[in-house]
Amino acid sequence: MSTSCNIFLPSDVIISNVVKVIGILLGQEKMKQDLWQDSWACHVQDTNGFSFDNKNNSNIFIETTSIPGMVMIEIKKNKFDKFEHEADYFFETENNMRLLSSRDNDFWKAIGTELIKFFGGYIDYTDTDNIEKDLEFKKPRNNNSPSDGDEWDKFQQELMDLQPLERIK
């Protein structure tokens, strides 16, 4: 049995924003993308949604699986350890949260810590020990997936303000 690092995020976190945050943390270029009227969104280069035809063009992408309620987040390259990484993303858990489950390593511990700082939630660094919540952060906003108005603008600015990781252990 392998050891996993489990990252639990609030149920209002949408996977495309998880991929954006991971991209930002890994140093992918980000920019403001005009949408409509005075609205814009934070666009993160080389991150994409589902991999139907984007797999070869994106560094970080979502891969569908045959398991209902689960996809994989795949990372082709990163500046820290030069390895490919993947994690299972579950849309439903017993405690009504999203779960990102990956290998127990420094890469995912660092990414997971920053994800829960940004979205709220908790991380179990090593699922085989007796500690279920190694680190926990309260949800920093009422809505982790706003769709318009001031909440949208504020969330997009928070994405733009997020800084890449400088190192992983």
- Across the range 132-151, mean pLDDT stands at 94
Residue found under tokens 């949208």: 152
- Across the range 111-128, mean pLDDT stands at 95
C-alpha–C-alpha distance, residues 127 and 130, integer Å: 8
- Across the range 134-140, mean pLDDT stands at 96
Residue 36 lies in a domain: yes
- Across the range 76-94, mean pLDDT stands at 89
Residue 169 lies in a domain: no
Residue 92 tokens read as 């439903």
Residue 44 tokens read as 């993160």
Write the DSSP symbol of residue 105. S
Residue 85 lies in a domain: yes
Residue 168 lies in a domain: no
C-alpha–C-alpha distance, residues 86 and 100, integer Å: 10
pLDDT exceeds 50 at position 51: no
pLDDT exceeds 60 at position 116: yes
Rg of the chain over Cα atoms, rounded to whole angstroms, equals 16
Write the DSSP symbol of residue 141. S
The confidence score (pLDDT) of residue 130 equals 87
Residue 166 lies in a domain: no
Mean pLDDT of the residues in the chain: 89
pLDDT exceeds 50 at position 1: yes
Residue 74 lies in a domain: yes
**Residues 59 and 77: beta-carbon distance below 8 Å:** yes
pLDDT-derived band at 35, boundaries 50, 70, 90: confident
Helix H or strand E encompassing 89 = strand 85-90
pLDDT exceeds 60 at position 22: yes
- Domain hosting residue 14, numbered range: 4-161
- Across the range 25-54, mean pLDDT stands at 80
Instruction: Measure Cα distances from 100 to 31, 55, 63, 115, 154 in Å.
Output: 26, 20, 14, 10, 25
pLDDT-derived band at 167, boundaries 50, 70, 90: confident
Orientation of helix 149-161 relative to helix 15-25, angle to 10°: 30
